[in-house]
Structure 1
Amino acid sequence: MNTVTIHEAKTHLSRLIKEALRGEDVIIAKGKTPLVRLTALPEARQERRLDGCKGLIVSVTDDFDAPLTDFTDYMP
């Protein structure tokens, strides 16, 4: 864990961001009082595609919901 003052944080912000991205804790303090923890955000989730199956289903016949004749022996 790396603790720095506000002045040091202003001066070395790029370095502190790199440390946070590596998973290290960076604490910014005013004097000896810790104020802020600098942490990396979790990776953004990839946006979901709604057309993932587009083009895979060509057509559905009109009798799609009709009972299958092969299973009449098993039907009540």
Structure 2
Amino acid sequence: MLKVNVSEASKDLLKLIEAAMKGEEIVITKDEEPIAKLVPVPPIKKTWPAKAGSAKGMVTIADDFDEPIADFEDYLQ
């Protein structure tokens, strides 16, 4: 873990971001007290391929989907 004061961090921000991207954890301090932490963001994993039409056949809509519901007739007026 690397500790850097806020004024030093503002001067070397790009360098600190590169270090964070490599896995380094940087604590930014002010008056020797920690105020922020710069850490790498974990990579985003796709849970399925984002491909158009990939769910074809998995979703069905009932024939009466757009028919009024009997219990809600009072609200349709």
TM-score normalised by the chain length of structure 1: 0.60
Mark the runs of 5 or more structure 2 residues left unpaired by the alignment: 58-77
C-alpha contact 2:25 2:40 (8 A) present in aligned 1: no
CA distance in 2, matches of 1:31, 1:49: 51
SS in 2 for 1:28: strand
- State the partner residue of 2:50: 48
- State the partner residue of 2:10: 10
Percent of residue pairs identical: 29
Mark the runs of 5 or more structure 1 residues left unpaired by the alignment: 58-76
Bigger-Rg structure (1/2): 1
Size of the aligned set, in residue pairs, is 55
CA distance in 1, matches of 2:55, 2:17: 40
TM-score normalised by the chain length of structure 2: 0.60
CA distance in 1, matches of 2:27, 2:51: 39
